[in-house]
Each structure stands twice: as C-alpha cells, then as structure tokens.
Structure 1
Amino acid sequence: MKKRYINILFIIITTLFIWILWSSDTETNNTILLLKQNNYYIKDLLISPSPSVCTENQFLVIIVTSYVGHVELRSVHRRSMPSSLLKSMNITRIFLLAKIPPDERYITQEAIKDESTIFDDVLQGSFTENYRNLTHKHLMGLQWASTVCKPSYILKVDDDTVYNLQSTHKLLLQMNKSNDNLLIGYMLNNTKPRRSKQNKWYVTWEEYPRNEYPPYLSGWYYIITSKVATSLCEEAMYHPYFWIDDIFVTGILTESLNIKLKQLPEDYWLEYYELLECCLTDMIIRSIRCNYVVGPNGGRNNLMLEFTEAIRNCDDWRNCTRRVSEKSLKNECVVNKERNIFSNGTAEVHFVRL
C-alpha cells in the first residue's frame, strides 16, 4: 500500500514538472514569436517612408546610416543619385536616423519631418542618436528593408561613404540569382578588441569576453540578401547587445548562424580618401577612368557628388582610358600616412621645432 502511494506521488510530481517545463517553453516560444511577428526593430518609429516607395519586385534597397544632423550629406547623396535614376534601376534608398539628442542645436524634429515629407526616404527610430545605439539603427534598417520592401538585395552604406552606383548595380546583375545567402563586403580578420580606456573603440571584458573578434565586414559598404538580413535580425534577439554594429551584425551574428562571408573583388575598395581624390583627379585631368567602387569622403561632403559627376562624364563623353598596370594608383598616389580601415582611435602627438 505504501509503495502504491509513493508511485502515485512520483507520477504527480513528474507530471507537474513536465507541465512547468512545457509552460515555460511555450511562454518563451510565444514571446519570441510575438517579437518576430511585431518586427521588433521597427516598432515605435518616429518617421517611416510610405509603402509606395517599394516596388512589387524590388531589386535593391540602399540603407544609408546617417546622423540626424547630417542634412548636407543626405543632400549630396540625393543630388548624386536622384530618385528618378534610382527608380529607373528598380532601386529604393532610405536614410536611417534616430531621435535628436538633447545637446543638438542645429536641427529640429520639424525640419526632419519636412525632409521626410519632401523626399519620403527617412526612417527614424525612437532611440536617441548615440554612437552606442548604432547597432539599433543598423538592425532597424535591415529589418525594414527585408520585411517591408523585400528586395533581392540590400546595400548598407554610411553617409560619408563614396560609392559608384553603376558598378554596384553591374556587380549585382552578375550575381547568381539563386544565391539567397549572399553577404559580401570588405572582410576584416584577426581584429582584436581595444582594451585601453583612452581608445575610441574601448571594449570592456564584460562587453566582449574574447581575445579576438570573429571575421566581419566593414559597415562602410556591404551587400546582403533579404533572407540573410531577416535571419540576422531574428538571431540578434538571442544575443546580448554589442555596440560596435558591424562587428555584431556581420561578425558575431553570422558566426552564430554559420553564415559564410564573402570578400569583394580585388581593386574594388579604396581604404582612405587620398587615394579616392587621386583617382578622381586622374579622371578629370588625365581622363583615366577610376575603376574603384568604394572609398571614404575624408570629411569632404561634396566628394561623392564630384566623383559621380566625373564617372558620368567618362560614360557620356567616352573619352576615358583604362589605367595601365605599370602605373597603379596605389604606387603613384602620395598618401600622408599608413593606416587601416579599423583605426585604433588613439591620439597622435607631433613635435614641432619653433
């Protein structure tokens, strides 16, 4: 009799334990499902483009990470690549902004609303503009593009990046249409966290407890498919937030999902703006076409406009020649100092003889 009661008690306890586990898993799964259904990263937007900016079979969406006060840079992008040109190529461009910070004195929310009304290309999150909120902005752009427009490809760029739209479009047309797992850009390997508090990129052990970052793509310019973008946004909900956005999105998350990164073709990228200026000067003065596609503007806001116009003149006038290999740009152009794309962020001191 005693043994019977023990068996009944065991069954009751086991059933209760299974029910608790099932309830816990169900609640967790329902929470995750709810987050996915509600498009977590594009909830509570301050401003969003109208649905009409997307076409039924959108080829490309360009998401441009932009500080809310960079009105001039956004204007340069629009003048370099007008909406009429983008529309003719089945391309949509969206600028990613956040809420105006309290110390910003040169822009108002009314001005941003007016900009959105005129151009219908602003996606503004409800989080505040801050360098450590860039990951929120990055994921907001990927999720909006992949769930609202659902294009074949998404191009992510920064607003201070200069790039050749025609060459980008040509590269994508050559891609294998069945490859919906594409993630291609400028790959960085063996990058170590900066542990000095004086460094701009200082990361604590609590923020990142490993000695090396996984391979990742520079956030300046990379191309991704909607399928991969959706997967990254979903995977991000399982990970602790990390504020260096390109490392988190294209490195930590892709490592977790076992997504293979691809490198851009050779001679596609210029690491610093002096090389881009040399390439531009050679087009204007010597009619030597610049075949590089991407580079930084070096603080010169109009560099993209000048670069785009020079490329257009080469195409219209058909007077530009190819650069001969014996006189490569990197051998002929004078650059002030060597540096890499992931600057160490430390200050430099120069002694001057008086």
Structure 2
Amino acid sequence: MSTRMFPKMTGRMRKFCPYFVVLLVAFFYVVVNLLTDSFVAVESRHGIPTPAIPRQEQKPVTTVLQTTTTARQHIWYRPENNPLFFTPRKSVVNPLNYNVVISGDPDCVNDPPFLTVLVLSMHSSGEYRDAIRNTWGSLARNNSWPGFNITEKIKLVFLFGTAQSSTQNEELKAEAKQTRDIVMFDFLESYFNLTYKVLMGFKWVQKFCPETKFVLKCDEDTFVNIPKVVERLRSKEWNTKIAGPYFTNEITRRGGKYEVAVSAYPFRIYPAHVKGNIYFMPTDLARKLLNASYYMPYVNMEDAYITGILAKSVGGINYKGLNRNEYSPSRALKGCEFLSKVASQQIQPTDARDIWKKLNSKTDCK
C-alpha cells in the first residue's frame, strides 16, 4: 500500500516544490532584514556613533571621497525619532587639525571688533571680492556707511580652502599681500568641504580675534546691510541667538550636489536651522558650535550641520528668523529697493555697485 502511495506523494511534491522554494526564500529574506534593522536600531538607541565620512588627508590637493556602504541602514524621519544621535561622541571624530596657509591680518587683540564678517569665496571670484571691498565691505576699512554713523569696529575676511591649481594659490597669496583680508586653510577647496571652511573660520576667530563680540557668515554673492545688522545686534531680542533665514522642515537630499550620506546623517528631515546665505550669532555661540563639532560626525551641508545639527547637539540655542520683508533670497535687488533689507542674495558685482551708488546718492533714495 505504501509503495502505491509513494509515487502519488512524490508527484504532488514535485508539483508544489517551486512554490515551496519561493515561500522559503521569501521567509528567510524577511527574517534577515528584520534582524538587520533591529541591529541598527539597537546601535542608535545605545548611542553608538554612526560612521562618519572619511576625512581627507592633511594635504593641500587631496580629494575628499564620499564612500558608500552596501549594508542596509536605518533611516529615521525626524530628529526627535532618535535624539541620541545628537549626543556628542565620547572621543574626537572630527579633529579639524588643518593648518592656516594665509592668516589674513589678525589685528584684533589690541582693538577687538564688534563684528567679524566671514565671507566664503572662491579663488576665481576676484571680481566679487573687489565689489564687496568697494561697497558694503568698505565699512571694515573706514567705518563709513551712507547716512549712518557706525562707531563699532567691523572686521571682514574672505575664507578659502586650497585650490588644486598652484597658480591660483600663488595668485591668491599675491592678492592677500595687497588686501590683507584673505584667510586660506590647507584642505581642498570644494563644495563638499564648505563645512570645514566655516568651522575653520570659527577656529580662526577663536585664535586671532577671540574678543570679537559677534560673527557673521555669508556667501560672496550677498549684499549685507551692515547698519541693519549692527542695529539688531544691539538689541537683546537678537544678540543672544542665531539669526538668519529660518527653516524648520528641510528634506535631506540623497543625490546630486546636496547629497548627504545616510552614514553621516540618518534622518529624512534636518533639525530647524538657518540658511547659509547669511547668518550671525554671538561669538560665544560660535565657539560652542565649534567645540561640539569635534565630537559629532562631519556632514557636508554646512548650514544644516552648523546651525542645526550642532546647535541641537549643544542644546538651549534659540533662533531669530529673517523674514521676506528684510531678506531677498532669490532676486537681486536694485538700488533703493535694498534700503529696508538686512541682506540680498544673487548679487552680481554690477548689482553691488549699483546698490552702493544709490545708497550714496542724496536724492535717489528718499
């Protein structure tokens, strides 16, 4: 009897065997992925640092390579879903041990400035730097602004990494001898390294201008209304906070120019922060953010990292947002339009000179 049933059972098994194999494979796939997610989640709950993007060699022209991982990684939606990520690591993970190649004119010790302005520039943007020096940045040389009596000392420097071209580096050194407002560090000049540029700018302030009261960071295509900034920094409502264009729900990009690796920042949303076109803060806050950066993984989105991730890591930092009535982010203002603004973006050198001409006019801007 058993010999008669065996062929029938074998036939049924042969019939359903492919389905059984598919189900078995699917079962093991689900189990393995669940175990992987659980392991990553446990790591984060216990504060084990997420691996940082490898830092570049301390050489002028060494490229920073962003590595990827084939392991499946857990991504949280908002920072509050895993607050332990923002706890500073127990040891240094981001040493910032770069050298100053050009130190500018660190004349801050005997006569500390009220405000130090850090402008992010590129080697090829000499026309932008000249426009700033001859317009809104001229206040750093002569304390003069049309229609205002500025008594506070303002210091302005342009920040650089090191170019791959030795010719560009030599040209910048020659410019620095004439203008004495160039500061260059020995990491590679690149978009990925903008975070290094700002943090090293803070470090430069800490070493050469430690008594400056406030720090302002902006891009080279920004026109800054320094009297408006000074007016706000005199106010208790502004002078204890990070001020700038304020964002609360910016999405983390995983591709393109603004790509941030999951291994560096495993959240879909950045913490609240101000945008990097322009922001300013008390120097003691900049120092706190700098000190926190040594113990937090490097993230290449400078504004979200410095004014968001590091600020959240430090804790207790408040913001003051610039609204659209006082900040123009996407359209270059013309002439008298700028009078009521704190800053304007997308400013070409010709735009800067036009605004400055109108500000100096006694009749055009009534």
Q: TM-score, normalised by structure 2?
A: 0.66
Greater shift in the superposed pair: 134-143 or 146-155: 146-155
The answer to whether the Cα contact below 8 Å between 1:63 and 1:156 also exists between their aligned partners in 2 is: yes
The DSSP-based 3-state class of the residue aligned with 1:238 is coil
Q: Which residue of 2 aligns with 1:68?
A: 123
The answer to whether the Cα contact below 8 Å between 1:147 and 1:230 also exists between their aligned partners in 2 is: no
The answer to whether the Cα contact below 8 Å between 1:61 and 1:154 also exists between their aligned partners in 2 is: yes
Q: Which residue of 2 aligns with 1:263?
A: 321
CA RMSD in angstroms comes to: 2.7
The answer to whether the Cα contact below 8 Å between 1:86 and 1:92 also exists between their aligned partners in 2 is: no
The DSSP-based 3-state class of the residue aligned with 2:312 is helix
Instruction: For 1:95, give the aligned amino acid.
Output: F
Could you list the per-position Cα deviations for residues 310-330 of structure 1 after superposition, in whole angstroms to 9, with x for gaps in the alignment?
A: 1222xxx15533xxxxxxxxx
The answer to whether the Cα contact below 8 Å between 2:131 and 2:353 also exists between their aligned partners in 1 is: yes
Count of residues paired in the alignment: 268
The correspondence for 2:357, drawn from 306, 309, 317, is 309
Q: How far apart are the structure 1 equivalents of 2:206 and 2:293?
A: 15
The answer to whether the Cα contact below 8 Å between 2:103 and 2:184 also exists between their aligned partners in 1 is: yes
Q: How far apart are the structure 1 equivalents of 2:204 and 2:230?
A: 21
Instruction: For 2:171, give the aligned amino acid.
Output: A
Could you list the per-position Cα deviations for residues 206-257 of structure 1 after superposition, in whole angstroms to 9, with x for gaps in the alignment?
A: 2321121101111111111110011001000111110011111001000111
Q: Which residue of 2 aligns with 1:295?
A: 344
Q: Which residue of 2 aligns with 1:203?
A: 260
**2:176 matched to 1:116?**
yes
- Judging changes above 3 Å, is the alpha-carbon distance between structure 1 residues 319 and 273 closer, same or farther for their aligned structure 2 residues? closer
Q: Which residue of 1 aligns with 2:280?
A: 223
Equivalent residues in 2 for 1:38-57, closer than 5 Å: 41=96, 43-53=98-108, 55-57=110-112
Equivalent residues in 2 for 1:1-354, closer than 5 Å: 41=96, 43-53=98-108, 55-80=110-135, 81-82=137-138, 83-86=140-143, 89-102=152-165, 107-150=167-210, 151-173=212-234, 175-176=235-236, 181-195=240-254, 197=255, 199-258=256-315, 259-264=317-322, 267-274=325-332, 276-277=333-334, 280=335, 283=336, 290-297=339-346, 300-313=348-361, 317=362, 320-321=365-366
The answer to whether the Cα contact below 8 Å between 2:121 and 2:159 also exists between their aligned partners in 1 is: yes
Q: How far apart are the structure 1 equivalents of 2:331 and 2:156?
A: 24
C-alpha displacement of 1:55: 4.7
Q: How far apart are the structure 1 equivalents of 2:245 and 2:162?
A: 29
Q: Which has the larger radius of gyration?
A: 2
C-alpha displacement of 1:43: 4.4
C-alpha displacement of 1:260: 1.7
The answer to whether the Cα contact below 8 Å between 2:119 and 2:156 also exists between their aligned partners in 1 is: yes
Could you list the per-position Cα deviations for residues 100-125 of structure 1 after superposition, in whole angstroms to 9, with x for gaps in the alignment?
A: 124x8xx5222111111111111100
Q: Which residue of 2 aligns with 1:348?
A: none
Could you list the per-position Cα deviations for residues 73-99 of structure 1 after superposition, in whole angstroms to 9, with x for gaps in the alignment?
A: 111111113243248641100110110
Q: Which structure 1 residue ranges, 5 or more long, are not aligned?
A: 1-27, 322-354
Q: Which structure 2 residue ranges, 5 or more long, are not aligned?
A: 1-88, 145-150
The answer to whether the Cα contact below 8 Å between 1:95 and 1:122 also exists between their aligned partners in 2 is: yes
- Judging changes above 3 Å, is the alpha-carbon distance between structure 1 residues 291 and 44 closer, same or farther for their aligned structure 2 residues? same
